[in-house]
Structure formats: C-alpha cells, structure tokens
C-alpha cells in the first residue's frame, strides 16, 4: 500500500496541450478576442479574460447514428399503460433528446491569460517599415566584460590585476619592507661587537639582494580579461505621443487619444525589449511632460502644431539617435491649427520628422457622435493629406467613438499582404 502526495508535483501539465489547442483554434480565438476587446476598456483588455469560441472549427468527428425508430426504457412511469400514445413535443425536441455530446459543446467559454490574450490580439499586426530601416526583431551580439580568467590570449592580459596578485603574493611571502631594512641598518650602526656586526651585515646584504631582485610574476598570477557575448537589443523603440491640449480638446477627445497611445505602447512593448515613451503636449508652445500631466494637466492657449514637432525634433537629436532607435510618433489632435503654422508644420514633418520615423500616425479625434466632424476636413487633415499624397509615409485616421479605436488601430497596423503572410499553415 502506497500513499503518495502528488500535490507538489509541478502543475500546468496541460499547458502544452493547451497551447496546441490555442494554436489550432487561433483564428477562431482571435476573432473572439477582437469581438470581446471592442466591448471592453483597454485596461481590461490587457488583463486577459474570458472568450467564447464556437467549437465547430474544433470538431472531433465520430460516426454517429441518428433518426430511425427508437426504443427507450425510462424510469418514473406514473400513469401510462401498454398501448398508450404520448404526444410528440414539437418536431425539434423529439430529436434533440437523442444522446449526442455535440449539443453541449456548440460553443464554449474559456479564460485566456493576459499574455495569451494580448498575443492573440496583436498577432496579425505588424510595424510598418515605412522608414526603410531594419526593423530590429533581430538582435545583434554585443561584447561585454565579464570578470577575469586564468587563460586567454596575451592581448587580453590584465596587467593591473596580474600585478596586484603578484604583489599580494610577495607580501604574503614576506618580501622585506623598507622599515625592516632601516631597522637593520640602525642596528648595525649601533652594534659594537664585531662578530655580531658581520652577521647583521650579511643579513642586510641578503635583504638588499632580495629587494633588488626583479619582481617575479608567477604564471599562477596572470589574469586575462574575460569577455562574454551578450545579446544587445538594437530592438529598442521610442514612442512620441504628441497631443494638442488646447482648449478645444475635450476630455472625450483626450480619452480617445489616450486609448490609442496605450494600444500603441502595448504593441511596441511586444516587439521591442525596450520602449521609451515621450509625452509632448502643446498649445502654442510645446513641453515634455509626464503621463499624468499629459492627460490630466490643465493647459490652454492657442494652437501651434509646429511647436510640438520642433520639440520632438530636438529631443530626437539629443537623446534618440535614429540609427539606434526605432522612432514612432502618434499625434492626436482635433485638427485645429493656426492658419499661419501650416507651412512650418509641413516643412518640419517632411524634412526633420518623417525621415527619422518608422511610422507616423495622425489621429484626428472628434466629439462623440459628432456628425459635423465629417463635413469638412480640418486644416491639419488637409495639410497631412496633401503630404501623404505627395508620398510622405504618414497614416491618418479619424476617430470619434471609443469603439472605433481598436478597428482604427488594427487598420493602421494590419499586416501588409506579403509573400511570407501565407507561409504559416
């Protein structure tokens, strides 16, 4: 008789099977995830959660018989006698009562973890490589000092470490110290007895010889610098959030913008090891702020979009070398800009900003249900459209409802149809 406690066995035995299942059900689950995420807040989306998928695509068929004459023995007769007839209860229910495990499995709900959810949500998105720069999903190997080693090439000998060790050994082996010699010399000077003197002098000679001897470096003490290869993420990205916070931007508009930025952030976070965010808000002048201020800080004034672009340009120049960083920018605005600013804005964009950006998204936010929104294009929209038509790598969308954020985001980052698209089975 054995009694065994298995509770401490590693759990998650089903994990592998679960992943296989998810892989298989991917398109179904993905559809469900998207549907679910439209109804939820971004924060909840990132929490993962429950999705319902139809099981049809996950069918495990078996030969099943149905129809024909049926015989059944049932318990609980109360009033029937032989030869009675029972009315059939409608066409459908008479059939349904047949045994069939399929019934309960038409669709089922299950819970996705946060990672699974976000993965599936973002899976068919990719970063558009508009700026022709390598998208660093790859990593380069860097070399990094990693302590010392006892073997290596002579070029890598670490002199200081070796000497340090050799000295330590000398000290440990009692090499004479200066005061020792001086002490001995003093003793000789004070000495009167000839024999003793001779002996002391001999000792002094010996000590002096010892000091003069070339310090010997034992091979034991040689240390080489050790280098280690480390993956160095060139995969780093910076995201610029540019937002117009002038009086015309309502809370609702800021909320829309915020949702968009959050999605972008999550998305970049998936792709890059390291993502920085820079928040720039602007009225008629721009400043870099923290997130809290960005979204909630009060500000008002006129609108000069070029100020934000200028600020971004300066920050890039100072902190984010475009050859090391993948730069993304998302601009949210209600589309108002000073009339006089249009030209400068266009110039900044085409000459300074767009050349260094992987992707520049312009999101025009409008009031909820605002139908006037569609009537005429705003000044910014018109400007950007003109830039785009002349071939600038710019994406622009209009959004006025929360529920539109996901589709718009998707739209912007939809994987472009390429040859590799269909490679996956």
Q: Which residues bind other proteins (CB under 8 A)?
A: 1-7, 9, 11, 13-14, 16-25, 50, 55, 58-78, 80-88, 94, 99, 105, 108-111, 425
Torsion of CA 211, 217, 221, 225, to 10 degrees: 120
Place of tokens 């959660």: 49
Which is closer to other proteins, CB of 69 or CB of 340?
69
User: 43 vs 29, 193, 393, CA distance in Å?
Assistant: 20, 96, 30
Angle (deg, nearest 10), helices 405-413 and 251-271 = 40
C-beta of 69 vs 151, nearer to other proteins: 69
| C-beta separation of 334 from 398 below 8 A | no
Q: Which residues pair with 157 in a beta bridge?
A: 224
Give dist(CA 277, CA 274) in Å, integer: 10
Q: How far is the CB of 114 from other proteins (least distance, A)?
A: 16
> Among residues 76 and 369, whose Cβ is nearest to other proteins?
76
* Residue number, 105 or 276, with CB nearest to other proteins: 105
Strand-pairing partners, residue 241, are: 279, 330
158: tokens are 């670490």
Please give the Cα distance from 268 to 238 (Å, whole number).
9
Question: Residue 240 in 3-state DSSP?
Answer: strand
């Amino acid at each position: 008789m054995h009694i065994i406690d298995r509770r401490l066995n590693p759990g998650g035995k089903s994990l592998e099977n679960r992943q296989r299942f998810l892989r298989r059900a991917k398109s179904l689950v993905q559809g469900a995830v998207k549907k679910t995420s439209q109804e939820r807040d971004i924060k909840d989306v990132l929490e993962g959660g429950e999705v319902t998928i139809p099981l049809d695509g996950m069918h495990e068929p078996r030969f099943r018989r149905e129809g024909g004459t049926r015989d059944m023995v049932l318990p609980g007769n109360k009033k029937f006698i032989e030869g009675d007839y029972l009315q059939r209860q409608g066409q459908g229910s008479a059939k349904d009562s047949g045994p069939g495990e399929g019934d309960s499995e038409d669709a089922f709900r299950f819970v996705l973890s946060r990672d699974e959810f976000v993965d599936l949500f973002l899976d068919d998105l990719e970063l558009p490589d508009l700026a022709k720069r390598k998208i660093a999903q790859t990593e380069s190997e860097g070399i990094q000092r990693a302590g010392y080693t006892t073997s290596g090439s002579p070029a890598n000998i670490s002199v200081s470490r070796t000497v340090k060790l050799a000295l330590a050994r000398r000290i440990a082996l009692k090499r004479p110290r200066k005061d020792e010699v001086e002490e001995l010399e003093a003793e000789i000077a004070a000495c009167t007895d000839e024999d003793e003197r001779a002996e002391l002098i001999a000792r002094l000679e010996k000590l002096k010889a010892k000091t003069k001897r070339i310090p010997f470096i034992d091979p034991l003490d040689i240390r080489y610098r050790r280098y280690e290869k480390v993956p160095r993420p060139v995969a780093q990205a910076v995201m610029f959030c540019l937002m117009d916070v002038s009086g015309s931007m309502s809370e609702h508009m800021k909320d829309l913008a915020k949702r968009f930025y959050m999605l972008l952030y999550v998305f970049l976070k998936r792709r890059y090891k390291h993502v920085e965010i820079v928040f720039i808000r602007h009225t008629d002048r721009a400043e870099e702020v923290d997130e809290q201020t960005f979204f909630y800080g009060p500000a008002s004034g006129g609108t000069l979009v070029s100020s934000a672009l200028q600020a971004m340009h300066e920050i890039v120049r100072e902190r984010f070398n475009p050859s090391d960083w993948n730069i993304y920018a998302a601009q949210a605005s209600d589309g108002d800009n000073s009339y006089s600013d249009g030209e400068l804005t266009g110039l900044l964009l085409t000459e300074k900003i767009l050349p260094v950006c992987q992707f520049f998204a312009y999101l025009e936010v409008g009031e909820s249900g605002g139908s006037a929104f569609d009537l005429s294009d705003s000044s910014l929209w018109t400007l950007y459209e003109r830039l785009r038509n002349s071939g600038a790598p710019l994406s622009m969308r209009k959004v006025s409802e929360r529920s539109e954020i996901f589709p718009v985001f998707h739209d912007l980052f939809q994987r472009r149809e390429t040859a590799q698209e269909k490679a996956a089975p």
